[in-house]
Chain A
Amino acid sequence: MTLTGSGDTEPQTTLTEDYRKREESITLSSSPAGTGETHELLTLNIGPHHPSTHGVLRLLATLEGEVVRDIKPIVGYVHTGIEKTAEDKAYWKVIPVVERMDYLGYYFNAMAFCGAVETLLGLEVPLRAQYLRVIHLELNRIASHLVWLGTSALDIGAISMFWYCFRERELILDLFEMSSGQRMHTRYFQVGGVMEDIPRGFEEKLRQFLKIMPPRADQYADLFEKNQILLERLRGTGIVDRQTLIELNVTGPLLRAAGDPWDLRKAHPYSSYDKFDFKIPVGTVGDNYDRFRVRHAEIYQSVKIIEQAIDGLPEGEHITPDRKVALPPRHELATSMEALIHHFKLVTEGFRVPPGEAYYPIEGPRGELGCFVRSDGSAKPARVHMRDPSFVNLQALAPMVKDSYIADLIATLAMLDPILGGIDR
């Protein structure tokens, strides 16, 4: 299918012909069906509405009997034009838009964007704000892993894990509601720090949560460690070696399960992660069981980080004192004229960012989440692009499920942890 270079697509073959041609790229295993001992390839469409596709992911599976020979993911069913909408809004107002991209790691999206804008502005984030950011990021990581654990167990059939995981997630969402007023998509991270300091009672509640979370995580381990069905479904399935994963630019727990200790929190620390002492769980074989274990172990490490952060939470401001970027506190508005003017300018127009480009990568629960911001000197960004980890990790699905059963496909898809909001943006 040749394409003209002017940007308009004029397919010279129909979609059916084109599709048949692409089907031919898969080698047929043997002679045509009907002879009794041979099989023909069947193309099966899984999704976009399917209970176990973790969102609206559509998979075109080419099957030979029950064995998957090829898989082609088709995405775009929840494409929201977030990047286009973000170009239309002031920097402050982009934060809620961008938060809704990877909808399980909303603090991470906001962190990547705020980090990129802070790089462009050359802004220094106060230490207390960095620690608060780390607390909320790690809580969000635990919450994301809990949803993954609950829904994956649901897919595999261990249904009761779902209720236990969501019981803990409710506690985390209560903490978020305490600090920012919203359970999800909290707009807590602002450019230059966080929106508000944590209220009284947050610390006690957080410590209570940290005390009960490791035993609860042990309970989850008890549920699956000796479960023969779970072990058989996950052990030895979906193996891809480390080199293939690196070539496919896969990051996050998938890469760590294959034995590669690449974690941006350790490799290129941001937001004072270098002040905390934590380990990175790394797998050995790279099968589904390793991925399962790595994510489960990350919950303990996140608890450890939060403990250190709340113990060592420094005094200070929760947002940068630069009034040209951050809103002044309300009590100042009554006394200071400059504060009033800054408030007015920030709310109506927003702050201006000097022209430039920045790419800010962070370690999200699924891998490297990067935000590219290009500014042209005005109050609205000229381009916001989120490099979503699930989008790139999805390319690894095809080698993972090749020549395995459909049941393994479902388990592998669950272990891949795709978030369609991030894939489609």
Chain B
Amino acid sequence: MEIKREPLTDLRVRQLKARDMLRGNLPDEDLERYVEERVLTTTVDRAVAWAQGNSLYPLTFGLACCAMEQIHIVAARVDIARFGFEAFRASPRQADLIILSGRVSIKMAPVIRRIWDQMLEPKWAISMGACCSSMGVFNNYALVPADKFMPIAVHVPGCPPRPEALMHGILKLRDKIQGNAPDGWRERYDADGTEEVLPNGDAQASADISIFKAGDTAGA
């Protein structure tokens, strides 16, 4: 007779894992991963992180075209107020999320850094769009990728990203804050082991066969 089992829910899987851990039954790697996944060890930490994630105060900060799509998440169709993030503060001292929406020029970079420094911990930054994450459409003398001068938590690709995409990015940040960091794509697609790691000493050989040398950025 076959016992019909319900597919294991997420909660059940976690319960079983917790039971194995408590009994000392988890193999070593699994135990390490178990601990890593639970960076916020205490319930108070988790509660605080849950609250922080659900009450982000973004900073009114729009640089260029991406700012237009950022304004759209405040508008009615993609309503950021559904998640509680509609309190955009003008002063960096009162905000905890800065969304770099647009291209960061070399004249603006020190200003942004100053604003970032003025924000109080805990604070997060989202780099919205292609121009501040990488150089975007413009790979030239006038722009600086935001990673060069401040730590970015989430990069949202797009030129400009749709308001839904930016909302997705903000929600991913919320997950990160609350301790459920999103799995990398390798785990999602079961692609462990596909990392390109060159054995030592082979970097030069790989560079020799590559026809594009470093710094060769002439646009097509």
Contact = CB atoms under 8 A, between A and B. Distances in A.
Interface string A41-81: 00000001111000110000000000000000000111111
A386 to B, nearest CB: 14
Contacts of B143: 80-81
Contact of A93 (B61, B65, B220): B220
A167 interface: yes
Interface stretch (A84-92, A228-236, A353-361): A84-92
A96 B62 CA distance: 21
B137 A100 contact: yes
A77 B69 CA distance: 20
A169 B71 CA distance: 11
Contact of B162 (A78, A90, A183, A420): A183
- Residue of B61, B108, B131, B218 with most chain A CB atoms under a 10 A cut-off: B108
Contacts of A170: 72, 75-77
Interface in B171-214: none
B75 A167 contact: yes
Interface stretch (B9-17, B24-32, B50-58, B99-107): B99-107
- Residue of B115, B139, B159, B219 with most chain A CB atoms under a 10 A cut-off: B219
A48 B75 contact: no
Interface in A162-195: 162-163, 166-167, 169-170, 183-185
Interface in B96-144: 102-103, 105, 107-108, 111-112, 115, 131, 137-143
Contacts of A49: 61, 92, 111-112, 115
B64 interface: yes
B76 A163 contact: yes
Contacts of A103: 64-65, 68
Contacts of A138: none
B65 A185 contact: yes
A206 to B, nearest CB: 19
A373 interface: no
A51 B64 contact: no
Nearest to B78: A170
Interface in B74-106: 74-77, 90, 92, 102-103, 105
A336 B71 CA distance: 47
A147 interface: yes
Interface string B133-176: 00001111111000000000000000110100000000000000
Contact of A100 (B61, B65, B90): B65
16 contacts: A50-B90, A55-B64, A76-B105, A77-B111, A78-B63, A80-B131, A80-B142, A84-B140, A84-B141, A89-B219, A93-B219, A103-B65, A147-B68, A167-B76, A170-B72, A184-B65
Given A51-B90, A421-B65, 20 more contacts: A55-B64, A56-B108, A56-B111, A77-B105, A79-B107, A81-B138, A84-B141, A85-B138, A85-B219, A89-B219, A103-B68, A106-B65, A162-B74, A163-B76, A166-B71, A166-B74, A166-B75, A169-B72, A183-B160, A185-B160
